[in-house]
Structure 1
């Protein structure tokens, strides 16, 4: 159990990655009340970082990782596009006729994956039961008029994108994204990242904790009722969605909604991205380089109407090279609301996952410490070439 700077950091790093352990210790040291967190990294199919720390965490602990689910869901979509089962430039209504209602008939699958469809929620909000169940959610969304003219702008479809793309997948394959992820990815690679957490694994789940603010940190003003931001974060619902309660709901964990229901460990997430871009456990990469290039390249220049972030998305995945300058232009992945971050960087062969139990203040998509943690990983990788 290495103690770095008085902080108990557990786990291992490969030779040359000691700086990463020190940076992880510094993250834990900045949380005086203790932070349960994990960091895992693969390099070209080999795990080179496996760290955890905090009062209750182990390397096997499972955290509520919210939109990290979108990475798993859209890995399945990318595989279906790669195999010719789905066509990015077909309309969504070609696969799912009911989606054409409300003026959405011309929306393509490419536009949907790039968060350009304008269907970020529904008028009046959604219930917890609807947010937890992708089939119920898709049925509500099909009739909704878009909140902007599709294709003219983009905004984060945070609670709903997985249900929308998932319904396309269901109409074509007869299977849910969750079922395909389980069969094609999670089980073959033994991944500890779940879209639908079995009851037997519940004892390993550490409930999400709310953010702890210092006296000088102030909560941002609530968005105006009826605004695109309020709709996207389901704040017009009665009651408004509380993100901590959402992940800590057994119904959400059991059903594993493809937008928001990811539960797992850093080990599981990092291995998933390692499998996407390289050989893992003797199995070939899940995605070809041309598929990665198409799904990772920026599809959304300009400002996200929901988050305010610039140059935010590829297809389904966040364009991580735009967020983190130390990554290559074809880096892709997805953050999770609690501050989690995960990505693959094909150029360096890095697959990275950081998980944390408590919401981060000012984290947005991925807690701020991911900038320093990720940069230390890339420096170590370059130094060990």
Structure 2
């Protein structure tokens, strides 16, 4: 199956790999984009947007990108940092006073940005649909006590990081995270990117195909561990992404709807010194903050070694051997979507798909694409 779009000849092997995955059914529908110093080297898409294969994945198809959304929310906070409205080293309670309850007065903004706050999920009882009520679910987070000492280790804030960051954005800017992203990031950059999705976009959203069950035996883990509490508060369901309530909610950790082209352009802000086509969102100093290492060790929720800077992960060869140990920041979504930035090379690339692969951090498919991209620009 031949992908649509364009690719510089250096990326012929990438195109061939993408075509092979579409042909074999390893991919249902997907898109890949590569930006180098503002030049689009790759803009490929192909396959189908639905399981029945009645809709082709076209140029303007968008898809739920799961935790790649966290990068969007982090960028929103960094824009406020750039404007002097948020201090990464200030307590969250500086902007959201209620958050200081139950021992969280020492939780800093950078702790939430780096998954080290100790608040990685909701105390039970809490079901997935409870996340859709932004006001009530965020108020519950303000009431909770941290599950470990803030700042001492990372514990992936799998489903709630967007609620935490979104509330900081709302308190500081007076706008919801959805509004802020639309008005301060997507609009100025001219990118097809949003938190949630509007009714008018429903007919161009790709259908999510859930992955196999996670290879994590929670019964073998202590019930009061951050891992169990995070994965059960609430229990995730990939099928939810195909529902209207999910699309209309503001889930800044989970329900960004976009495509690879938009992500590559938006995050080229990080790779290109903070400015894209005359639109400046960040300065070099703010970009440097991303690379301040906040944690490096076995994540308390995911159970694998990870390094977190501020707002993004940094390379950790033991867990992601295909990402070289250089000045790189990235994150990805459940099922394999990923966006990666290499500021020293001016390089940004993104991959999104609707057929979810096993695992939480990347996939064999994304590893293959990243390996070919890096080989092509080496």
TM normalised by structure 2 equals: 0.89
* Counterpart for residue 51 of structure 2: none
Q: Distance in 2 between matches of 1:297 and 1:30?
A: 41
1:1-385 alignment, distance < 5 Å: 7-31=1-25, 35-55=28-48, 56-211=56-211, 219-223=215-219, 224=221, 225-233=223-231, 235=232, 237=234, 240-242=235-237, 244-278=238-272, 282-320=277-315, 323=320, 326-327=323-324, 329-361=326-358, 363-382=359-378
Q: Distance in 1 between matches of 2:110 and 2:68?
A: 20
Answer with 297-306 or 277-286: which moved more. 277-286
Structure 1 gap segments, 5+ residues each: 1-6
Q: Distance in 2 between matches of 1:157 and 1:193?
A: 22
Answer with 99-108 or 307-316: which moved more. 307-316
Q: Distance in 1 between matches of 2:186 and 2:233?
A: 35
Indicate conservation of the 8 Å contact 1:98/1:142, yes or no. Answer: yes
Q: Distance in 1 between matches of 2:361 and 2:312?
A: 12
Q: Distance in 1 between matches of 2:37 and 2:119?
A: 38
How far 1:112 sits from its partner (Å)? 2.0
How far 1:87 sits from its partner (Å)? 0.9
Q: Which runs of 4+ in 1 moved over 4 A?
A: 223-226, 324-328
SS in 2 for 1:12: strand
Q: For each residue in 1:309-365, what CA deviation from the matched residue of structure 2 results, as whole angstroms up to 9, or x when unmatched?
A: 31332112122575355446332232011211112211221111111111102x321
Q: For each residue in 1:175-195, what CA deviation from the matched residue of structure 2 results, as whole angstroms up to 9, or x when unmatched?
A: 222211111110122212211
Structure 2 gap segments, 5+ residues each: 49-55
Q: Distance in 1 between matches of 2:275 and 2:103?
A: 44
Q: Distance in 1 between matches of 2:315 and 2:20?
A: 23
Cα–Cα, structure 1 residues 69 and 84, in superposed 2: closer, same or farther, change >3 Å? same
How far 1:30 sits from its partner (Å)? 5.0
How far 1:157 sits from its partner (Å)? 0.6
Indicate conservation of the 8 Å contact 1:197/1:256, yes or no. Answer: no
Q: For each residue in 1:160-218, what CA deviation from the matched residue of structure 2 results, as whole angstroms up to 9, or x when unmatched?
A: 111112212222221222211111110122212211312111100112112269xxxx9
How far 1:12 sits from its partner (Å)? 1.4
TM normalised by structure 1 equals: 0.88
SS in 1 for 2:44: strand
Query: What number of residue pairs does the alignment pair up?
Result: 366
Q: Distance in 2 between matches of 1:296 and 1:152?
A: 18
Indicate conservation of the 8 Å contact 2:313/2:331, yes or no. Answer: yes
How far 1:153 sits from its partner (Å)? 1.9
Indicate conservation of the 8 Å contact 2:127/2:233, yes or no. Answer: no
Cα–Cα, structure 1 residues 343 and 324, in superposed 2: closer, same or farther, change >3 Å? farther
How far 1:247 sits from its partner (Å)? 1.4
Indicate conservation of the 8 Å contact 2:6/2:42, yes or no. Answer: yes
